[in-house]
Structure 1
């Protein structure tokens, strides 16, 4: 076996063919080596050093493995395991290339930076799907957009804080999930709920003398997961009853314009003292003072957050139940920090937003990207694309697809489903780098990927291994 690695730490293991298979076409088995690192609030797990704690259980007669309080990493650790097992498991196979890519979850950057000569095979099995019995032949393209803006802050001391109350709202208990495959499910985004709640609270301000100022807001953790938690701290002289009723309304009922099924949604309102707030947010440059966004800038920030679309934009007219285009309001973070010029002594308040767009149609992806850029421009936020990849459009007549369908039918005595997914697969990068390469994607049942509820169906995993072995043992695209 020969092994090579490129500057992005992508690895290609070249495995000689089994006896009698030497003259067949090379098959590329491809998976990515990274995972989404999500954990429940308050869980002490440190992804940089702690091992994943596995949990085995049987539910309804089906065996599952999950992780205790964190994502499992079956996406895409199981794909890596399949590839290694194919090379070392004593099965019959043609020449293999095991392509293990990096940083898929950060925007497919490992795959996108492959050189055209890194692999030689032109038939690729992507092992990153999450539904057994379905052969995937297409995926959405994606664009990740950053929205940023700096604001001049206002500092308030204890004397001037007397008329105001300080509050923190926390949203938790949401299911979250994959921003592609779960975006059409009735799941809520904590960021969207928080934005709508702040809009509702500030909409109650009828007296222009009353104030509402943001101190801190945060929600979500990664660009490709639906936000499960969010928190916001603010100061106001609005009557406490208004804020309490608003929070109660959002907790007990689906707010106007939102639709979701989240039985464990929890919204907590905490009143803080000035001293507690100072302890959390005091800066070395301004002792015994709390940095806040001005009333005007608070209004601009809340207006932007409320303007960001989230969810399904359009459904496919070619494949039933397939999302064509969607958007995920993924992450929002505020911070107060010293100016980049350390000698200036200035402090800036900053808002940073990460937004993820997906579409199976390139023109629609460009249209929605422009719409998002226009929203940023409207509120004077700097918008920039930091990751993008093209859609992988289906080819129903590809010989590789026909061969895989035949192998499935011969193995399980039934037809497989053939579909596309509204998630990003590295095949979207490969179509640009390796034009003409035939590809399919397959994998076992993975539930709630990109969330701490992630579960891998072990019985499904075994059946997909049987399917993969059948493909390799009968691989001959010249005969289909």
Structure 2
């Protein structure tokens, strides 16, 4: 198998290969952080771990560049851990099996971690290089971006000295980002008291699998199926006629990943078993027709199972099903200000059955605060109707576009000079850490760039090799073009 380090630019790909070899899912980044810190110290670079656990590495300007504005290259240390159901992989212990697949690099059965591993690798390759021109340089590697932006929330003023921040977490070469959506976690808790399952019921497991999933910001407009919502649709349409009693319902693992798989355990009278098989077959055909273009791998299966001793209270079950089916999901509104950009969305990312309740964890995103508030109130209203508790947490601000940004001008002109065409200046619906950096560092001039990454937050994640090279060329040329203080 061809090594990633054979690709160009070799320093970047060598670092990415190292990153893949050290497990670093969200909340488990310390081993990777320590490896990088040890390497930086051996190279004679100044390192610091701040109070929340972010790693900052400083490198002096190259000769003749000492008077340039200081630049902060920023990436996050963690990756999203998603795998296919038939893949045996422990993200806290096993390395990512990255491989070259034609024009792309992908992983075997898991997320690749190109989000944001390629950006991190580029920053480390700049630190390593002795033949690049740049002014005073800091590299900021934050923790826990994907599961709560803990590192960005905890970044304190006075730690960084640079005037310009280049975020490396964008995912489309040829696009330069000057703003992003804000977001908030929304947890709906539905009380589901249990009662003894009637003795004459038959038990089945229903699974909806094989969906593509993806990033709940970058991919939310693509019309992909959400397994949680699709199971809720079946239940709302057929639970009463089948006299179904739920024992459990679970789906998804991350609020910021479109749910690829969901399962439920049900019980029903023997007289309804044949009808259940018919309805499952009919619903499978409906979904395969509706989602033929977007979800060719969709699978809906029914399997007899061991009988659970308890089922949800009937009234609570009806409220849960109605809430899950009625809850908004996907694109709520497109932006009027930025063509083709999602303004407001919601992703029903995780459904979990507890001892006496079901929790529904969603992520609301919006480029405007009023849009986020609107969806918060939609969920609040549905919660009131269903007797569910809504808790909002982890709110983070959007990054407001600055049309007069000097670094945006430098990047645009550098791109045009290097590649002969102007890049698209964009706002991204995904959440970047830039908005949070503005609180401790209100005067930071920021921009976000990156290579082309497809299907992040899913096992189909891949990064286009040629665009990594173009991204590297742009990054190094921009560093050379940073103006004097």
TM surpasses 0.5: yes
Paired residues in the alignment total: 439
> 1: CA distance between counterparts of 2:217 and 2:377?
20
2:284 corresponds to: 251
> 1:143 is paired with a residue of what secondary structure?
strand
Contact 1:25 1:95 in 2 (8 A): yes
1:236 corresponds to: 268
CA displacement at 1:203 relative to structure 2: 4.4
Change (3 A) 1:32 1:112: same
Bigger helix fraction: 2
> 2: CA distance between counterparts of 1:228 and 1:74?
20
CA displacement at 1:255 relative to structure 2: 9.2
Q: Which runs of 4+ in 1 moved over 6 A?
A: 255-260
Change (3 A) 1:456 1:255: closer
Pick the aligned partner of 1:301 from 306, 313, 320: 320
1:80 corresponds to: 120
> 2: CA distance between counterparts of 1:201 and 1:271?
18
Q: How does 1:3-402 map to 2 (within 5 A)?
A: 3-58=47-102, 62=103, 64-90=104-130, 91-156=132-197, 160-162=198-200, 164-204=201-241, 211-237=243-269, 239-254=272-287, 261-272=294-305, 276-278=306-308, 290-336=309-355, 349-402=356-409
Q: CA RMSD in A?
A: 1.7
CA displacement at 1:54 relative to structure 2: 1.5
Q: Is residue 2:466 matched to residue 1:473?
A: no
Contact 1:249 1:255 in 2 (8 A): no
Task: Give unpaired runs (5+ residues) of structure 1.
Answer: 206-210, 279-289, 337-348
> 2:354 is paired with a residue of what secondary structure?
strand
CA displacement at 1:122 relative to structure 2: 2.1
Contact 1:187 1:262 in 2 (8 A): yes
TM-score, with normalisation over the residues of structure 2? 0.87
Contact 1:212 1:295 in 2 (8 A): no
2:449 corresponds to: 442
Pick the aligned partner of 1:426 from 404, 414, 433: 433
CA displacement at 1:388 relative to structure 2: 1.1
> 2: CA distance between counterparts of 1:234 and 1:226?
24
> 2: CA distance between counterparts of 1:418 and 1:312?
22
> 2:439 is paired with a residue of what secondary structure?
helix
TM-score, with normalisation over the residues of structure 1? 0.88
Contact 1:446 1:455 in 2 (8 A): yes
> 2:418 is paired with a residue of what secondary structure?
helix
Contact 2:67 2:484 in 1 (8 A): no
CA displacement at 1:241 relative to structure 2: 3.2
CA displacement at 1:113 relative to structure 2: 1.2
Contact 1:189 1:226 in 2 (8 A): yes
> 2: CA distance between counterparts of 1:133 and 1:477?
26
Moved more, 368-377 or 247-256: 247-256
> 1: CA distance between counterparts of 2:260 and 2:192?
27
